[in-house]
Chains A and B, each alone.
Chain A
Amino acid sequence: ELKVEQNPLFLSMQEGKNYTIYCNYSTTSDRLYWYRQDPGKSLESLFVLLSNGAVKQEGRLMASLDTKARLSTLHITAAVHDLSATYFCAVGSGGSNYKLTFGKGTLLTVNP
């Protein structure tokens, strides 16, 4: 059974600081997703990582994938308050990687 672990689960940081969220998963997959969720809202897709060594960046967020280590990271650079949200990683499994298994999420709070 595929297990996805995120850490930390809670992250409080100051504006302007950098930090990294880690996502480990237990079985082979070549498809890793990062989503953002604001309170009471649905999931917003941030990144789709498809291959070993993939790196994608959007604004202050950068995601990477190491399929050999079964590890993905989401790096936050110079955090701003608007980044406060819960971030989920999800791993695809199944014939066309149809089923997503999510981590528990990281609740990020960026303080002024």
Chain B
Amino acid sequence: DTGVSQDPRHKITKRGQNVTFRCDPISEHNRLYWYRQTLGQGPEFLTYFQNEAQLEKSRLLSDRFSAERPKGSFSTLEIQRTEQGDSAMYLCASSLEVPTSGRIHEQYFGPGTRLTVT
């Protein structure tokens, strides 16, 4: 399977615990995005990487959230001191950006990690 993969698919944790999610993008894709989706809503942008550089973070991403993409391949999203309001589906997406090619900058989404904070 050459699509975007995420691990774990489901995570149940107690309030106050730290959690870490992993995303493996499509192998040749240089951009990687994190979104959060709560029940009944559309996904909301959290952050994105161009290769290993984190280029933008949403105001939704509090200090308890940190994301990395150390070698420009996989990415991790860590949430420290989880709160019940963090319960959501965390979606990762990737795309290939070649500015001069005119290629469609389509984002491909992974299956998501569903986080439940009790």
Q: What's the interface size class on B, roughly? A: 20 to 34
Which residue of B has the minimal Cβ distance to A6?
B42
Give the interface segment out of B11-19, B60-68, B73-81, B106-114.
B106-114
Distance between B110 CB and nearest chain A CB, rounded to angstroms: 6
Report B's interface with A, CB cutoff 8 A.
31, 33, 35, 40-45, 48, 56, 91, 95, 97, 99, 104-112, 114
What is the CB-to-nearest-CB distance from B99 to chain A, in angstroms, rounded to a whole number?
Answer: 7
A90 at the interface (CB under 8 A from B): yes
Instruction: Decide: A98 and B91 in contact? CB cutoff 8 A.
Output: no
Q: Is the CB of A96 within 8 A of B105?
A: yes
How far apart are the CA atoms of A35 and B33 in the complex, in Å? 16
- B44 contact from A35, A41, A92, A102, Cβ within 8 A: A102
